[in-house]
Amino acid sequence: MHTRHLFALALLALAACGGDAAEDTGKNAGDGAAGEEAVLADTGAKVPAAASPGGDTAQAALGSAVTLNTANNSGATGIAQLMDHAGQTMVTVTLNGASPGAHAGHVHEGTCDAPGRPVAPLQDATVPSANASATAVSTIALPLATVMNGRHIIAYHQGSGANTGAPIVCAPVPGQVPPA
């Protein structure tokens, strides 16, 4: 076979496998063995294994999804995906059921019952009309391990600008379990 045919077959085989977030380090990336490192395919960076509650090391190394629960009887809900992004944290939020307009978001210290100070602003999520959803993508200058230490929340508020108002959604950011 010609070289380009072999290359095309290799690409098809890789696509059929779905690709993996962690390269093969000789062990399953999800077995959470103590001392194991996951290698991030996009950067080649080695990340210490941090077993998530489900034992998925690659997921714990790359980030987590959290459900944004309604706050202050707003009726809004959503989801936030946290991912490592070159030593910073990328936060992708989708709001559902929020009132039309811009809604400011923050990573706060504390809990949803007792929010603390904001530690990082998130992009506003702008809901275009009633019954529409909104997505906002932010990159914050904090490492994922700092955000995922079990002492932070994500909250989106009634408004934006100087007077953000009360939270309409909130979620605790789970802490990563350190390797044994």
Helix ranges, the chain (H) = 3-17, 57-62, 144-147
Greater model confidence, 46 or 157: 157
Spatial distance between the Cα atoms of 56 and 33, rounded to a whole number of angstroms: 10
How does 16-41 read in b/e, with b if 16+ C-beta sit within 10 Å? eeeeebbeeeeeebbebeeebbbbbe
Rounded to the nearest integer, the mean pLDDT of the chain is 73
Burial class (CB in 10 A: 0-12, 13-18, 19+), 4: exposed
pTM of the model: 0.65
Greater model confidence, 164 or 49: 164
Greater model confidence, 7 or 111: 111
Question: How many CB atoms are closer than 10 A to CB 138?
Answer: 20
Spatial distance between the Cα atoms of 115 and 30, rounded to a whole number of angstroms: 33
> Where residue 25 falls among pLDDT bands split at 50, 70, 90?
very low
Stretch 31-54: mean pLDDT, rounded?
A: 32
> Where residue 56 falls among pLDDT bands split at 50, 70, 90?
very low
Greater model confidence, 106 or 19: 106
> Where residue 62 falls among pLDDT bands split at 50, 70, 90?
low
Residue 177 is predicted with a pLDDT of: 53
Range in 24-28, 90-94, 138-142, 169-173 with the lowest mean pLDDT: 24-28
> Which phi-psi region, left, alpha or beta, contains residue 130 (left: φ > 0; alpha: ψ -120 to 50)?
beta
**Would you say residue 50 has pLDDT above 60?**
no
First to last CA, the chain: 49
CB 29 within 8 A of CB 38: yes
Pairing of strands 152-157, 101-110: antiparallel
Residue 2 is predicted with a pLDDT of: 43
Q: What is the DSSP string of 95-116?
A: EESPPSEEEEEEEEEE-SSSEE
Q: Convert the pLDDT of each residue in 135-155 to its tens digit.
A: 999 999 999 999 999 999 999
